[in-house]
Amino acid sequence: MTPKAPAFDEIEKFLKIDGWTEVAGSAGHATSHRVFEKVLECGQVLTTHISHSGSKSPGPNRFGEILREQLKITRRQFWEALDSGDAVDRPAPVEEQVPAPEAWQVPILLHQVGLSPDELHGMSPDEAQKVITAHWASPPDDS
C-alpha cells in the first residue's frame, strides 16, 4: 500500500479494470473532467470524474475523499486492483477519514505559525483553529 495519490491516468486505468463506463459526451464537454459511472449489483449508481490532465494527481486528502465518497473502496483495494488487473469486490469497507485542517487554515499554520506538514497530519479543523487563535493572541516575537 502506498500513501501517494495516483496520477489521473492511473485512476482511469483503475476505472477500466473495475468496470466503470464513461458517460456519453463527457469527454467532449468544455470542462476539464470526464465523468464515469458504475452500477453496483444492489442497483446503486456510483459516479466519479477525472481530469483530462492525466499526468496530474489529486492531493492525498482529496484522493482519500474520492475513494470514500465516489469509488466506495479502500486505498489498499485501489492499488491491489491496479497491480492485479482484477475488479474490486463490493461492498467494500470504507476507510475512516483522517481529520485535516480546513484549506484556509493550512497556509496560516505552515507560514505564520511555522508548523511542518507532518505536524498538520491528523490535526482536526477545531485543533487547527485553537493553534491559530493562540498564535494570533500571543505577542509578536521580537527576535
In the chain, where are the structural domains located?
A: 8-84, 105-137
pLDDT > 80? residue 9: yes
pLDDT > 70? residue 3: no
Determine contact, residues 99/125, Cβ cutoff 8 Å.
yes
Phi, psi torsion values for 131, nearest 5 degrees: -65, -45
User: pLDDT tens digits, residue range 29-82?
Assistant: 555 678 999 998 888 899 998 876 656 777 778 888 889 889 999 989 999 999
Question: Whole-angstrom Cα distance, residue 54 to residue 56?
Answer: 6
Question: Whole-angstrom Cα distance, residue 61 to residue 67?
Answer: 10
The pTM for the full model equals: 0.57
Q: How far is CA 143 from CA 59, 82, 111, 115, 133, in A?
A: 36, 52, 17, 18, 21
User: pLDDT tens digits, residue range 84-94?
Assistant: 999 998 765 55
